[in-house]
Homo-oligomer: A and B are copies of this chain.
């Protein structure tokens, strides 16, 4: 794989930026115990109820957290992107399966040593706590989106979340002259699992949004968003995952173009 493993250098606000606030020795200790692990797309990382013996931080790629229902459905309860922490520490009682949605790189830290370090470093403890709080926020955002009766509106919210979530992650969100192009790193089926519907409805909703002039479907997975305001209005939530950030992004196109 020709992927540069020293992605840490560009820690604007993703990657290992969770830890930039930490003191030198803590970062040293983390660096000493970290190990880069690769997962190809589709591979399961944890099954529900399975213990894992490491704490992971996503270095690149997308992971999906999902539940398995008795009728075979696999609703997705969240996504993990660059910089997100996962593992026993904050998984706690939760029983979710984690799978690689794309090819993924993960920094793995042995659980025991990580927890020891957490006890010694309040900053690290705080960083983990913040990560969990963010995850809680995002999950609530998904709830708001799911409570939308019309699928078109759910998809609108989905696109916005994708943007805000992926801002700064290379090749996933890029500012264009006429809007923001987002690369959705999963199939229609996965999107359906996330939004509580079926792939056909996702397809129809996207094309309805295109019809309305809010987006342009460049390829099935590369969506050009023309009007973030129109999408936001559909969801009804002005500040979904701080859309204002998106507007800043638009204002500073040169940052990504």
Contacts and interface: CB of A to CB of B under 8 A. Distances in A.
Interface of A: 65, 67, 69-71, 73, 75, 77-78, 90-96, 119, 122, 125, 129-130, 132-137, 139-140, 142-144, 146-149, 193, 195-197, 233, 235-239
Given A236-B70, A237-B67, A92 B133 contact: yes
A10 to B, nearest CB: 23
Nearest to A192: B147
A78 B136 CA distance: 11
20 contacts: A67-B237, A69-B235, A70-B233, A73-B236, A77-B144, A90-B136, A91-B133, A92-B133, A94-B137, A94-B140, A125-B125, A129-B129, A129-B132, A136-B136, A139-B139, A146-B147, A146-B196, A147-B196, A149-B196, A149-B197
A140 B92 contact: no
Contact of A139 (B125, B143, B235, B238): B143
B140 A78 contact: yes
Contacts of A122: 119
Contact of A95 (B90, B91, B239): B239
Residue among A75, A133, A140 with the highest chain B CB neighbour number at 10 A: A140
Given A70-B233, A142-B143, A148-B196, 18 more contacts: A65-B140, A67-B140, A67-B237, A69-B236, A92-B134, A92-B137, A94-B133, A94-B136, A96-B140, A119-B122, A125-B125, A129-B129, A132-B136, A135-B136, A136-B136, A136-B139, A139-B140, A149-B196
5 tightest A-B CB contacts, nearest first:
A69-B236, A147-B196, A92-B133, A146-B146, A75-B147
A133 B93 contact: yes
Nearest to A238: B70
Contacts of A196: 146-149
Contact of A137 (B71, B93, B142, B149): B93
Contacts of A137: 92-94
Nearest to A136: B136
Contacts of A193: 147
Contact of A132 (B70, B75, B95, B132): B132
Contacts of A125: 125
A70 B156 CA distance: 15
Nearest to A193: B147
A7 B197 CA distance: 44
Contacts of A77: 140, 143-144
